[in-house]
């Protein structure tokens, strides 16, 4: 069974249930009003010889005003039946047949006339109110639709503004200057200048760099200095992301459905850092994180590829930076510097300020 048919059946059942509840509520109202009227009539009949007006007017008028013509006529018929439920009253000695009949039917006819007159006007009011409620519901739905469209348009406008902002390509002079500053960066401002270069090229300030070592990708640099933004600190060799970067040398993007599972929410883009020479050409991996693809330039894949190419030339210096960090950590912990090929670098710590060059 198709889904529209299921929804139609559920809607029909709900509508029938609503009608049944309304009918039961109406029957309950009739019962309560007439029971109260008859009880009050019996109480007053015991204390007064001829109570007037007849208390059966109460349910007739109230139900007519509340529910309209049909309910008013039904109330008039029920009131007439209850009026003569105990039998017809005896005729007076001074009454002829016509006077007697007129006295009997006076109140039932009056109830019917009230139900017809007031009920007709009330039914028109109820119909008009239902029409107004339907119009109000339709207008509310339209307003909600317009509000949703406004929210969507605002979001789209903000997204387009971000795209226009990122589409403002930096000048060649800015890129060259940023790359030159990065080549002459010192220990203190290396990450800052690296972030500036990546932002100019990709428009993303959240990134991480992993180095390829011992069959895994080890996190070395991350922007912000907080929690690793490209996943775990070490991406093991059994990780599909490792295979895609190291073995297949692919540039992954969350814009492609096939790459989403590989990135697993750790990044929106990731690519290998390759050296132009050497037996082991793969240096590591660059990843862009904590950003939406909508906020990146339209030609982000081309920019990302160029960024990876430029950062690949910094592979040796990034490895040296990793060695310095390991040596500094070992020195702070009071341990012997780790044997990572950075012994010469550790001997220079404390003697002079270290600097990085790309020459």
Q: Which domains does the chain have, with CATH numbers?
A: 3-147 (no CATH), 172-348 (3.30.450.40)
Reported as a pLDDT band with limits 50, 70 and 90, residue 356 is very low
Of 206, 209, 196, 224, the residue nearest 268 (C-alpha): 206
Separation CA 220–CA 266 (nearest Å): 16
Peptide bond preceding 53 in cis form (omega within 30 of 0): yes
| Residue 312 and residue 271 in contact, taking contact as beta carbons nearer than 8 Å | no
Instruction: List the structure tokens of 353.
Output: 């300020």
Separation CA 285–CA 242 (nearest Å): 9
DSSP codes, 108-166: HHHHHHHHHHHHHHHHHHHHHHHHHHHHHHHHHHHHHHHHHHHHHHHHHHHHHHHHHHH
Q: Please determine, for residue 63, whether its predicted confidence score (pLDDT) is greater than 50.
A: yes
Separation CA 174–CA 170 (nearest Å): 6
Using CB atoms within 10 A of its CB, is residue 296 exposed (0-12), middle (13-18) or buried (19+)?
Answer: buried
More confident residue, 134 or 86: 134
pTM passes above 0.85: no
pLDDT digits (tens, 9 = 90+) for 247-302: 888 899 988 888 888 888 888 899 998 876 655 578 888 988 888 777 777 788 88
Reported as a pLDDT band with limits 50, 70 and 90, residue 139 is very high
Instruction: List the structure tokens of 28.
Output: 């309950």
Compute φ and ψ for 165, nearest 5 degrees: -65, -45
pLDDT digits (tens, 9 = 90+) for 317-340: 676 666 555 555 555 555 444 433
């Amino acid at each position: 069974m198709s889904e529209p048919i299921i929804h139609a059946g559920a809607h029909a059942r709900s509508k029938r249930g609503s009608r049944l509840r309304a009918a039961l509520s109406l029957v309950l109202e009739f019962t309560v009003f007439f029971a109260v009227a008859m009880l009050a009539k019996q109480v007053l009949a015991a204390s007064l010889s001829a109570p007037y007006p007849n208390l059966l007017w109460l349910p007739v008028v109230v139900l007519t005003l509340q529910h309209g013509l049909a309910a008013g006529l039904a109330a008039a018929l029920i009131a007439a039946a209850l009026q003569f439920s105990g039998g017809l009253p005896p005729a007076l000695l001074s009454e002829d047949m016509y006077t007697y009949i007129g006295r009997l039917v006076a109140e039932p006819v009056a109830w019917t006339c009230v139900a017809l007159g007031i009920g007709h006007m009330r039914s028109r009011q109820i119909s008009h109110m239902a029409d107004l409620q339907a119009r109000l519901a339709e207008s509310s739905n339209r307003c909600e639709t317009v509000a949703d469209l406004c929210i969507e348009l605002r979001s789209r406008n903000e997204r387009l503004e971000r795209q226009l902002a990122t589409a403002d390509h930096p000048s060649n002079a800015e890129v060259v200057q940023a790359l030159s500053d990065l080549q002459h960066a010192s220990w203190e401002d290396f990450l800052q200048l690296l972030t500036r270069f990546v932002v100019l090229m990709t428009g993303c300030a959240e990134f991480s760099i992993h180095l390829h070592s011992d069959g895994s990708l080890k996190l070395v640099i991350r922007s912000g200095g907080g929690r690793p933004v490209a996943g775990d600190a070490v991406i093991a060799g059994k990780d599909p992301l490792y295979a895609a970067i190291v073995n297949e040398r692919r540039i992954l993007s969350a814009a492609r459905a096939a790459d989403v599972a590989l990135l697993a929410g750790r990044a929106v883009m990731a690519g290998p850092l390759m050296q132009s020479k050497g037996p082991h050409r793969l240096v590591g991996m660059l990843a862009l994180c904590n950003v939406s693809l909508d906020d990146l330039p339209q030609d982000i894949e081309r920019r990302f590829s160029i960024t990876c190419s430029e950062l690949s030339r910094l592979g040796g210096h990034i490895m040296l930076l990793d060695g310095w960090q390991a040596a500094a950590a070992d020195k702070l912990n009071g341990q012997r510097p780790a044997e990572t090929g950075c012994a010469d670098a550790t001997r220079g710590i404390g003697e002079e300020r270290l600097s990085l060059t790309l020459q």
